[in-house]
Amino acid sequence: MYTDQASAPWVNAAVSHRSAIACLLVLLVGWIPETFAQAQAEPGPVIAAQGASTAVSPDYVLAPGDLLRIQVYQQPDLSMEIRLQDNGQLSYPLIGPLTMTGLSVFDAERRIEAGLRDGKFLRSPQVSITVTQVRGNLVSVLGHVQRPGRFPIEKPGLRLTELLAQAGGVTAMGSDGLILIGVRKGLPYKRKLELQALFESEDLQQDPVLEHGDVIFIDRAPMVYLYGEVQRPGPVRLERQMTVLQALAAGGGPTPRGSTRGLKVTRQSPAGDFRTWVPELNAPLQPGDVLHIPESLF
């Protein structure tokens, strides 16, 4: 091959440029499969769904406002995401409006399949429904629970104890009682329940069935307060029938400079007046009592 000497630098530059591109392609060919393999092997981030976005079971009963993702096997034109109307219906292609409220997810799938099959649109339709957003069957849990928020009623007859389990139970600072607020038969409904009685009772009527819109509130547990010559001054959870001595023990007891002699309790009356006295060590305490542990004189 003949090459003019004047054009040799351009030829050499072109050859070098092509060599560089070839090397880059070789590197890319080796890097892309490796990166793809790593992406396949490494799991992606797990997004924990809570409250209204929780995936529901096939027994979940549909209600107005729920957002559904309907998929028909090998029929992308019939797959869609649609929200149930206020009257509980959805307008589905080919088979028109369908009433879905009161149906479980499983039964709703069968109803759409029957409409497509009976209308002779598909011979053997296979329908799957995913509830992507729950709006119609929600219960709220507020206050001192591990996971407060809104939870779907996934099945008919969901009881209070089951929902408390979903919320992770009551925290260490939670009260021994709770308040259930809702609507029953069109009238406001409010009920106070004790947790111990709720779990110990053999009567299922003590464990109420929840309905859409119910609110459960767990207040903070009642407290007594320690100050002065005590190991851990501050608030102490008031247990049932707690005595002065038990509260002092919960605070770690007196310091080396402290003494139980002359220990005083200050209590506020319903009228707002304060009373201070020296109690017996076995005297019961009330919410809000303040205990002062004095310094020893000797």
CATH homologous superfamily for the domain 140-218: Outer membrane lipoprotein wza domain like (3.10.560.10)
pTM equals 0.65
51-133 is a CATH 3.30.1950.10 domain: yes
Within the chain, all domains assigned CATH 3.30.1950.10 are found at 51-133
CATH for 223-293? 3.10.560.10
Banded pLDDT at 52 (limits 50, 70, 90) = very low
Q: For 66, how many CA atoms within 13 A lie in the half-sphere containing its CB? A: 34
Q: Tell me the pLDDT tens digit for each residue of 31-44.
A: 434 433 333 333 33
Within the chain, all domains assigned CATH 3.10.560.10 are found at 140-218, 223-293
- Answer whether 216's CB lies under 8 Å from 232's CB: no
- Least confident interval from 26-30, 45-49, 110-114, 171-175: 45-49
pLDDT at site 202: 81
Average pLDDT over residues 250-259: 94
- Taking alpha carbons only, the member of 159, 156, 145 closest to residue 204 is 159
Whole-number Å distance between alpha carbons of 42 and 146 = 31
pLDDT at site 26: 40
Across the chain, which distance is largest between two alpha carbons, in Å?
117
Q: Tell me the pLDDT tens digit for each residue of 59-84.
A: 888 988 899 999 999 999 999 999 99
Q: What percentage of the chain reaches a pLDDT higher than 70?
A: 81
- Taking alpha carbons only, the member of 91, 93, 59, 98 closest to residue 77 is 93
pLDDT at site 42: 36
Whole-number Å distance between alpha carbons of 197 and 161 = 11
Q: What percentage of the chain reaches a pLDDT higher than 90?
A: 61
